[in-house]
Amino acid sequence: MAVATIRSRREAVTALLLKVLAYLLISATAASMIFPFYWMVSGSLKTEVEVFLVPPKWLPIPPQWSNYVYVLSSIHFARYTYNSLKIAVFSTAGVVLASSWAAYGFARVRARWRQPLFVVMLAAMMIPGQVTMIPMFIIMYRIGWVNSHYPLWVPAFFGDAFGVFLVRQYFLTIPQELLDAAKIDGCNHFGIYWQIMMPLAKPVLATLALLSFMGSWNSLLGPVIYLYDEQLFTLPLGLTAFRGMYVTYWAYMMAGATISVIPILVLFLFTQQYFVRGVVLSGLKG
């Protein structure tokens, strides 16, 4: 009996200790996550001189909103934002439409070569982008698409392996009886796809759209390979080029970085659950 009491008391102490430790870990990590963002924003609101202060000035007062005005107009960040947005929207539309289109083909259309093609598609997911980027560039060069936005969103309209996988999983859960009923009513596959499957698949499509948008908005490799005219730059590319030229204008750089982060941040805050689900699903695909 005595042994049991000692053990349970030790257990209780351990449990409490762990709870405290857990709380500390979470708080410390959360603080370390937020701090760089705070620092970036505060830096964006400092004057050129305040940026160099040692020890650093913690609160940017008075805030230099003019930095943002300058970055948006004179350094064309407004244009970069527009470019990023345009490419991301087109590319997302392509991924969502093309992936769900092919996913329906895999899920509910009884074509003979479905299974082998599916395996072939999955295998393609293993190919690292670095192997294909040079030949792709040559192809794009030959058709005259280098230095334009086309290479950054047109391929999306041919389907994305991960997207197809995701949507197909979802489509498979929609009961066949529903589709059979539609067929009896005279619907062909195209009608089923557009009028039944797509509306029902809104959650997974939302998740796919978000992941896709985020991927396109944040991407650097595509833009840096294909875009040469400064007018065509996207935000990440603009920021990188900016860093080359304005190495010491930290306040402007921080303003530029903040501008590139805000849209995706706002989107995230409103659609958190879809993002989270998307991340978990993308991990589970392995």
- Could you tell me if 234 and 87 are in contact, meaning their C-beta atoms sit under 8 angstroms apart? yes
284 belongs to the binding site for another protein (CB under 8 A): yes
6 belongs to the binding site for another protein (CB under 8 A): no
Given candidates 66, 73, 115, 132, which one binds another protein under the rule CB under 8 A? 132
Given candidates 6, 15, 78, 119, which one binds another protein under the rule CB under 8 A? 15
The residue (of 62 and 131) whose beta carbon lies closer to another protein is 131
196 belongs to the binding site for another protein (CB under 8 A): no
Which three-class secondary structure string do you get for the chain?
CHHHHHHHHHHHHHHHHHHHHHHHHHHHHHHHHHHHHHHHHHHHCCCCCHHHCCCCCCCCCCCCCHHHHHHHHCCCHHHHHHHHHHHHHHHHHHHHHHHHHHHHHHHHCCCCCHHHHHHHHHHHCCCCHHHHHHHHHHHHHHCCCCCCCHHHHHHHHHCCHHHHHHHHHHHHCCCHHHHHHHHHCCCCHHHHHHHHHHHHCHHHHHHHHHHHHHHHHHCCHHHHHHCCCHHHCCHHHHHHHHHHHCCCCHHHHHHHHHHHHHHHHHHHHHCHHHHHHHHHHHHHCC
Given candidates 69, 78, 119, 139, which one binds another protein under the rule CB under 8 A? 139
The residue (of 200 and 224) whose beta carbon lies closer to another protein is 224
Given candidates 70, 145, 157, 194, which one binds another protein under the rule CB under 8 A? 157
**Pattern 243-282, binding to another protein, x per CB under 8 A?**
x------x--xx-xx--xx--xx--xx--x--xx--xx--
184 belongs to the binding site for another protein (CB under 8 A): no
CA-closest candidate to residue 209, choices 173, 166, 168, 169: 166
Q: Contacts with another protein: how many residues (CB under 8 A)?
A: 99
Tell the smallest beta-carbon distance from residue 161 to another protein (Å): 8
Tell the smallest beta-carbon distance from residue 203 to another protein (Å): 17
Given candidates 26, 78, 178, 181, which one binds another protein under the rule CB under 8 A? 26
Tell the smallest beta-carbon distance from residue 62 to another protein (Å): 20
40 belongs to the binding site for another protein (CB under 8 A): yes
User: Rule CB under 8 A: which of 62-121 touch another protein?
Assistant: 98, 101-102, 104-106, 109-114, 117, 120-121
Tell the smallest beta-carbon distance from residue 74 to another protein (Å): 18
Other beta carbons within 10 Å of 75: 21
39 belongs to the binding site for another protein (CB under 8 A): yes
Tell the smallest beta-carbon distance from residue 30 to another protein (Å): 5
